[in-house]
Structure 1
Amino acid sequence: MPLSHPPLDRLPIRRLTSDDLLACADLSENRGWLREERKWGLLLTAGVGYGIDDPAGKGLLTACVVTSYGPGLAAIGMVLVAEAYERRGVGRRLMRHVLAEAGDTPLSLYATSNGQPLYEQLGFTSAGRSEMLRGRFTPTEPAPERTVRAATAEDLRPVLRLDQEIFGADRTHLITRLPAFADHVRVAEEDGEITGFGALWPNMDTHVIGPLIARDPGTAQALVASLAAATDRPLRTDVDTRHTSLLTWLKSNGLDQIATTTIMIRSLPDLPGDWSRRFAPLTVAAG
């Protein structure tokens, strides 16, 4: 006699831990995404994962991660539903659970075109667009001259101050993980003052540039050029479409748009911080 399973709307939603990393990567692969185990590892330790186990014992049937930045903001990312369970309400159920857990905390996320209608139904509104770029960096058009160097331990405090000012919330729990998570962290400075920083971290066969915080587009370009010179892998990054000069420069130097996403917010008039100096997220999954 075949085993019977509870209805999908009665399957328990549980907190995920770092022990679920491979199951999360398997779920990514199931949906045609990259496994991105390194990114999952960061998100599951710096944030809170939620998931529903497949009653047939085949890993996770749905999952997502929430990265909190205090009472003023949290970011939702990596919302996935296994192919066998799509369009059966489990993604909506998981999101409603996450919204209930968040309470009054404002939320942000980067939505694909497939996910955007659901998020709109759940009260999210569009706050902008982002382009994902990928390619081998070929320095055809040089970056403006800036002083860029490897970050040191002494840079941590000024970097955290600058990041909180520009991001608009406290990302200490993520920024302090960068030296171990990223292969390279660079800072830009002028007259002894740090004017920007960026990180280069490995993800499958690419290196991702993010976060990228800078005083102006020229400083952002100088940071990218310095980070790009440190790798022979293709680069990936996500850039707010309002940064037209950086996007044009990146495309002239070998990167191409491979996807677009909609930046969405809930219970907020707009994202906090200063978008004009916030060029790329660490990862869109963490806001």
Structure 2
Amino acid sequence: MRARVTSLVLVLVAVLLVALVPRPSRAFGEEGAFNPRILLTGTARWEGARTTGPARWSEELTRRTSAPARLSPTTVRADAPALLAEPFAIWGGEDDVPPLTEREVLGIRRFLALGGVLLIDDFAPESGAFGKAARREIARVLPDGAPIPIGTENVVFRSFYLLRRAVGRVEGQPKLEAIMRGGVPQVIFAKHDLLGALARAANGTHPFVVVPNGEPQREQAARLAVNVAMFVLCSNYKDDQVHAPFLMRRRAAEPSP
């Protein structure tokens, strides 16, 4: 009898120990996690030096904040049902793109109608070919929407860091542009090559030079990426009890724009 009781106690202790072991953050795709997905259209493939950018985005978010993120972000096609499963996607490129198919137009329109946020990242803002094509196609998706400049007055510039301007691999224009819905950005246009600034090779080197301000500018680009992620994750940061302490410390430590 005593041996049986001892065995039962040991089992209970083992169960308690397992319960007390910290569990990893929720897997990507589950509620609350951030996934910087790459949106693919037409026959486009996700390849090249910028493919490391989304993972770096997630790393910076988890390192700097209390927010969970998927460290191996995924891609999603504009006409795939999976687009509707998560609230954020990045559509980036360097060159002109073929017109979206009707299924792609409908897929992106549904994604935005459900509250999704789309970041359009021009990898070659010096030429602007992709940015111009993306605007043309988004005008088909949202014919009644028009992008407007957004700056330091907007939540994207204040959601975690207090940023004075937008930057990426290139300095570009100080403001972003966005199509607004309900007073908040829903389609964000960046002429800065944000993923180019974030990209990092396995050996820790950066494949793209950041101009004109080098590594300090790369740091500011990482901060912009974190702000976008926090904007996506929370609609009102001042009311978010998890992130509020981080935000208050940031507001106290950094000068106002």
After TM superposition, the score normalised by the length of structure 2 is: 0.33
Q: Which has the higher contact order (CA 8 A, sep 6+)?
A: 1
Larger radius of gyration: 2
Flag the structure with higher strand content. Answer: 1
TM-score (norm 1): 0.30
